[in-house]
Amino acid sequence: MTEHRLAVVVLAAGMGTRMKSSRPKVLHEVAGKPMLHHVLDTSAALAPERSVVVIGAGMEAVEAACRGHRTVVQSPQKGTGHAVACASEALEGFHGANGRGTVLVLYGDTPLLTSETLRRMAALREGPDAPALVALGFRPADTTGYGRMLVDPGDGRLLRIVEAADAGPDELAIGLCNGGILLGDGPTLFSLLERVGNDNAKGEYYLTDVYGLAAEAGLTTRVVEADEEELLGVNAQAELAHAEAAMQRRLRAAAMAGGATLIDPETVWLSHDTELSPDVVIEPGVFFGPGVTVESGARIRAFSHLEGAHLGAGAVVGPYARLRPGTRIDAGARVGNFVEVKNAVLEPGAKANHLSYIGDARVGAKANVGAGTITCNYDGFGKFRTEIGAGAFIGSNTALVAPVKIGDGALVAAGSTISRDVGDDDVAIERAKQQIRPGAAARFRQFRGATASAERKSGKAKAL
Helix (H) or strand (E) holding 185: strand 177-185
Is 370 in contact with 364 (CB distance < 8 Å)?
no
Which pTM value belongs to this model?
0.89
Q: What does 276-303 look like in DSSP terms, one character per residue?
A: E-TT-EE-TT-EE-SS-EE-TT-EE-TT
Q: What is the pLDDT of residues 72-82, one digit of tens each?
A: 999 999 999 99
Judged against a pLDDT cut of 90, whether residue 276 lies above it is answered with yes
Percentage of the chain exceeding pLDDT 90: 85
Q: What is the pLDDT of residues 401-434, one digit of tens each?
A: 999 999 999 999 999 999 999 999 999 999 888 8
Is 269 in contact with 287 (CB distance < 8 Å)?
yes
Q: Which of 153, 158, 162 lies closest to 136 in space, CA to CA?
A: 158
Is 297 in contact with 278 (CB distance < 8 Å)?
no
Q: How many CB atoms are closer than 10 A to CB 266? A: 11
Q: Which pLDDT score, from 0 to 100, does residue 1 have? A: 47
CA 419 → CA 290, 337, 361, 431, distances in Å?
35, 26, 15, 12
Kindly list the catalytic residues. 354
Confidence of residue 464 (pLDDT cuts 50, 70, 90): very low
> Diameter of the chain by CA atoms?
106
Q: What is the pLDDT of residues 1-60, one digit of tens each?
A: 445 689 999 999 988 899 999 999 999 999 999 999 999 999 999 999 999 999 999 999
d(CA 24, CA 109): 10
d(CA 392, CA 349): 12
Q: What is the pLDDT of residues 374-407, one digit of tens each?
A: 999 999 999 999 999 999 999 999 999 999 999 9
3-state secondary structure of 249: helix
d(CA 228, CA 137): 9
Q: Helices 209-216 and 186-193, interaxial angle, to 10°?
A: 100
d(CA 117, CA 223): 12
